[in-house]
Every structure is written in C-alpha cells, then in structure tokens.
Amino acid sequence: MVNITLLPWVILFSPLLAAFFIALFFLRSPKIAGILSTASVLISFAASAALFGFYLKNPSLLPVETAYAWISIPGLSIPFGFLIDRLSLLMLLIVTGVGSCIFLYSIGYMRGDQSFPRYFASLSLFAFSMLGIVLAHNFLMLFVFWELVAVSSYLLIGFWFEKPSAADAGNKAFIINRVGDFGFVIGIFMVWMLSGLGGAERTFLFSELATRIPDLAHQNLVTPAILTVAAFLVFCGVVGKSAQFPLYIWLPDAMEGPTPVSALIHAATMVAAGVYLLARTFFLIHDLPNVLETIAVIGVITAGMAALLAVVQNDIKKILAYSTISQLGYMVMAVGLGSSTIGMYHLTTHAFFKALLFLGAGAMIHSLHTQNIWEMGSLLKRMPVTAATFLIGTLALCGIYPFSGFFSKDEILALAYEENRVIYFAALLTAGLTAFYMTRAVWIAILGPDRKTHGHDHHAVHDAEPIMKWPLIVLAFFSVTAGFMGIPAFIMGGHGEHPHFNMAVAITSTGVALAGIALGTLLYARVKNRQDPLERFFGKAYDVLVKKYYLDEAFLALANFFQKLIAQILFIFDSKVIIDRGANGAAQLTAGLGSFIRYAQTGKLQTTALVFSFGLVALVAFMFLRGF
C-alpha cells in the first residue's frame, strides 16, 4: 500500500528532479536525458493514476489538503501544500497523461537536435510547473508555479534561440504574460486583504477563501464593487495565460517553438492553466453576475475573432494555434456562463484532440519539412496513420457525434442557449467557422493533391517512427471516447445539477458543423493550384484578417512608446537635468567658488602664519568676552 500523502510529492517533484539532474550531469548525454525525463513524467502519470484510483474508491475522503510551512514569519505565513479534489485529480491525469504522450513523441521528434538534453530539461521543468499549479492549495503557491510556467514556456518557445523569430516569440510570450500577471498579482493581494476583513487572520488558502469570500458579501462587510474589482484582477491573469482577447497575441507567435512544445503548451498545460484557475477560484466570481457576463463576452469575442483568423492562415501550426485560442474562448465562455464544470469538461476533451492535432501536424512537418499547408497534400496515401488520426482530431474539434468534442461543445452551447441567446448565436457561428477552417486545412494539407513544386523527396515521406506514431494512436483513442467517460459527472461528484442536454441544440450545432464542413469541401475540394479562393471573394476584409486586426501593431506601438520614447525622454532628463544641471552644476558651483577664494592663498608662509595668529587672537578674545 503506497502512502497516499506521499503521492503528490512524487507527482510534483519527479519531473523537477529529472530537470535538475539533466541540467547538472547529462547535458552531453541525450539518450539518458530523454529517458530520464520521459520516465519522470511516466512516474508522475502512474502516481496520478494511483491517486485517482484511490480516491475513486474512497470519494468521501475528498477534498484532501496537506500543508507544510514554507514562509513563516510573524505576520505572514505562506504554506506549501497540496489540494486534492476532483478538479485537481482530473487535471493531474490530463497533464501527466497527455504530457507522457508528448514526452514520448518528443524523443522521436527532437532526435538529432544538438540541444536535445536542454530540450528535455526545459520540458520537465514545464511539467513540474504545471503540476504545481494543479496541486497548489493556495493563491501564492499557484502564482509561483504560474510564473514558472511562463519561464519554462519562455525557454521552450525560444528553444531555437539563434533564430531571431523564435527568440522574439519567447520574449513576447513572457512579457505579455507578465502584463496579465500585473493584474493577477494585485488581484491576489486584494483577495488576501479581503480574506482578513471578517476579523480572521488573512489567508491565501483556496479552501478558506472559498467559504470566506461569499460570506463577506452576505455579511455586507464589503461592497460588491470591490469584489468585482478583485475578480477582474484575478481574471487578468487568465486573460494572459489562457490567451484571451486582447492578450492572445503571444500564442500564435509561440508556434516558433518545437511542435511538441506547441502541443504541450496548447493542449494540456500553460493555456489550460488559466481555465483551471477560473475553475479553482470560481467562488470569487460565481456570485457576481456582471463579472460572469463580462467573462463570457470576452470568451465569445476571443472564440470568434480567433476562428476568423484561423481561416486565413497557411501555416498548419498557426491554424491550430488560432483554433486553440478559439477553443479557449469557448472554455472561458462556459465558465462565464456559470459552469466551471463544463469549462473543465471542454478543457479535457480539447486536451486530447488538440494534442493529437498538434502532434499529427508535427509528424507532417517532421517528414515534409514544411509548415505550409499548400506544400503538403495527398497525405492519406503517404502517411496513413498520421492522416487518419488527424482526421479523427479534426472531427472531434468540429464537434461531430460521437467524437468527444461534440459532447463538451454541445454542453457549452446548451448552456449558452439557456443563459444568453446572443452569446449562443455567436458561439454557434464560431462552431461553424471552426468546422470550416479545419475542413479547409484538411482538404488542402491532407486530402488534396501534392502541390509541392519540386517534389523530389517523395520517397522520404512516410509515417513517423513508432515512438511518434503510438502517442497519436493513444490520443486518437481518447479523442473518440472521452465523451463517454462521464467526466462532468466525475467533476460534479455525482451530485449537483445534471449536465444539460438539449436535443434541439445538439441537432442545430451538428447541423452548423456539417454546414461548415460542406462549405469547406465545396470551396477547397477542387482547388488544384495554390490560390486561396477566399482571397478573391473578400479582398480588403481578407487583408485585415491576414494582418490579425492590426492588434500586434497596436501592442508593438504601445511597447515602443514606453521602451523607446518614454525611456529616451527619461534618459535625456537624467543625463541633461539631473547629471548636468544637478550633479555637475553643483560641482561647477564649488569649483567656481574655489577659484574665487584661492586668491587668498598667496603662498607666502608668513602671511599664512599671520592670518592664523590673528585668528587665534580673535578666538581667544572672543572666549574672554564670552567669559569662557
């Protein structure tokens, strides 16, 4: 019998130990690094599964909280501890499960890269950070790992740092996340402060906050406006990390990293952290209708905007990136509509099929050496397994019965149908767009003819090696079956409201998805050349989409305003006013005064002595007159 309290430690620290040992000892031994790192995640997965199994048998024990002193001084105590409940158990399984697939796949994908060990060290660090977020039982610990996720994403996105675009993308991801975290930190401080209003000692613990914060409103200790501000500030962190409008701009650029990294960032970890945070801190928002509504609106805006952008992309990873943003919009919207369960449900199914899609895209990129969908084609013949699993992922993403995406997306739509019709229609439209852009990608990249002009490497194109193929198959299996596993029921714990099912909505959404697929087929099934028909139809509007609504330019201008203009102005002020006028001015004043007084120095010894004696006499006389 394994000690249950030990398992969270194993889950959390086994990737960290791997990263640590690789960084210290195995930077020149790729084989050991790969095995060590993958083994560590598999260990985490096994431990998570054991933990899951244990609590599945003993659900009455949940939630379990363990805490150890980390920072403890008079007036401030920040414990280090684990919160095991249904939410974190589910998330642990997703992170380590999907993570294991990606780690295994990486061994094949990254083989031969000269920084292979560094890759695995960073990847392990990433897994560690994400698991930390999942297990954290207090706000500050969550923030610590939250930042570590940003750091490890910085390291991984900029993994090929000699490539300027990759290095820039890493910086962008980190800085944009920091902008979100600005609000998040202040939000944490506010929540911390609010927790003490009832007279109790302030706390960061989620379990304490979950009871205290709603109480505050009931006891009229605090106005709803303050709670609203705190909730919005915490939500800022989500906007940054989960790539919501307007901070989503880092995510497409993050495609500069190796493809398995994109899979990890976009499926199971980093971006999921934001939604997980929303679910974890649902107690903050669920009594505040206006906050919920804003969150839902931001979610649906993100979903729609990103889906539109995905339509015009020609880079397969960029298509998937915008698709991720769009689906994250869905999840956030679900939370905003009042159900964190459904948000988490979509997160789970999405983790499977999006990881599958990314890894499939990675396999294509790996053997075709291009990311441009127009240079791919006829892959069903050339890479059957990859193509087939990619199609499964696509169908899941489009929300076609019986693939997993159908169930979770349908629940979101059903929820929206009940809560807010405007959002419902926008979400429905987005679902159609999703089906459309994925169909476009599939027709051009997989089903269509090979459009590569100099196709001399035809023979080299084949399915990837087993270590890359099997993760695809495993993920494909879950993408198909995840809808039947009763995930929402598990999160709800068998009680609470029954998941919504609305036949009308289900039929409508399937219809819309099929319409999107039909439209995509109509437009792209026959395209033989490399000309996108949409470009002809829409002209100007198409340009705006290609330019990504000029949002990047706006942010760049804002950043340059501070880091170039303001910085330069301040520097000129510093050097011209403070140094020249202030410091050197004082020095010149002193020097001027000195050059005036120096004429008193005649250099004659006896003049000096005489003046000195007069001074002495004057002093003595003065003392006499004062009467000592």
**Interface residues toward another protein, by CB under 8 A:** 69-76, 140, 143-145, 147-148, 150-151, 154, 158, 161-164, 167-168, 170-171, 174-175, 178-179, 181-182, 185-186, 189, 192-193, 559, 562-564, 566-568, 570-571, 574, 578-579, 582-583, 587, 598-599, 601-606, 609-610, 613
Q: Cβ closer to another protein: 142 or 476?
A: 142
Tokens of 439: 């169909």
CB of 599 to another protein, least distance (A): 7
Q: How far is CA 414 from the centre of its chain?
A: 27
Task: Name which of 507 and 557 has its Cβ closer to another protein.
Answer: 557
Residue 148 or 227 having the CB closest to another protein:
148
By beta-carbon proximity to another protein, the closer residue of 134 and 309 is: 134
Work out how close the CB of 254 gets to another protein at its nearest, in angstroms, rounded to a whole number.
15
Q: Give CA–CA dist 373/527, Å, rounded.
A: 13
Nearest CB to another protein, comparing residues 1 and 605: 605
| CA-closest candidate to residue 409, choices 483, 472, 467 | 483
Q: Which residue has the tokens 């020249």?
A: 580
Least distance from another protein to the Cβ atom of residue 73, Å: 5
Rounded Cα–Cα distance for residues 205 and 209 (Å)? 6
Listed in sequence order, the residues at least 6 apart from 575 whose beta carbon sits closer than 8 Å to its beta carbon are: none
SS (H, E, C) 458-486: HHHCCCCCHHHHHHHHHHHHHHHHHHHCC
Structure tokens at 507: 């039929």
Which single residue is written with the structure tokens 């004043």? 589
Identity of residue 349: T
Strand, coil or helix: 81: strand
Q: CA dist 626 to 614, 620, 621, 622, Å?
A: 18, 10, 9, 6
Closest approach, Cβ 608 to another protein, in A, equals: 9
Judged by CB, which is closer to another protein: 533, or 585? 585
CA–CA distance from 622 to each of 544, 608, 617 (Å)?
A: 89, 21, 8
Min separation Cβ 452 and another protein, Å: 28
Instruction: Give the 3-state secondary structure of 56-76.
Output: HHCHHHCCEEEEEEEEEECCE
Whole-number minimum distance, CB 78 to another protein, in Å? 8
3-state secondary structure of 383: coil
Give 131 or 359: the residue with its C-beta nearer to another protein: 131
Strand-pairing partners, residue 205, are 138
CB of 322 to another protein, least distance (A): 25
When the beta carbons of 175 and 544 are compared against another protein, the nearer one is 175
b/e sequence 20-37, b meaning 16+ C-beta within 10 Å:
ebbbeebeeebeebbebb
CB closer to another protein, 358 vs 555: 555
Chain Cα centroid distance, residue 148: 11
Q: Which residues pair with 65 in a beta bridge?
A: 83
Residue 612 CB, shortest distance to another protein, in Å, is 9
Min dist CB 485 to another protein, Å, is 35
CB closer to another protein, 531 vs 560: 560
Shortest distance in whole angstroms from residue 246 CB to another protein: 16
The residue among 486 and 592 lying less far from another protein, judged by its C-beta, is 592
Which residue type sits at 328?
L
- Shortest separation between residue 220's beta carbon and another protein, angstroms: 22
Angle at 398 between CA 335 and CA 251, to 5 degrees: 60
CB-count burial class (<10 Å; 0-12, 13-18, 19+) for 245: buried
The answer to whether the peptide bond before residue 246 is cis (omega within 30 degrees of 0) is yes
Q: In whole angstroms, what separates CA 504 from the centre of its chain?
A: 34
Beta-strand relationship, 64-73 and 76-84? antiparallel
Instruction: Compute the least distance from the CB of residue 258 to another protein, in Å.
Output: 16
In the complex, minimum distance from the CB of residue 595 to another protein, in angstroms, rounded to a whole number? 9
The angle at the Cα of 316, spanning 315 to 317, to the nearest 5 degrees, equals 95
CB of 94 to another protein, least distance (A): 23
Distance CA 552, CA 550 (A): 5
Report the chain's C-alpha Rg in angstroms: 31
Q: Give the chain's end-to-end CA distance (angstroms, integer).
A: 93
Looking at the Cβ atoms of 72 and 531, the one nearer to another protein is 72
Nearer to another protein, 66 or 171 (CB): 171
Closer residue to another protein in complex, CB, 48/269: 269
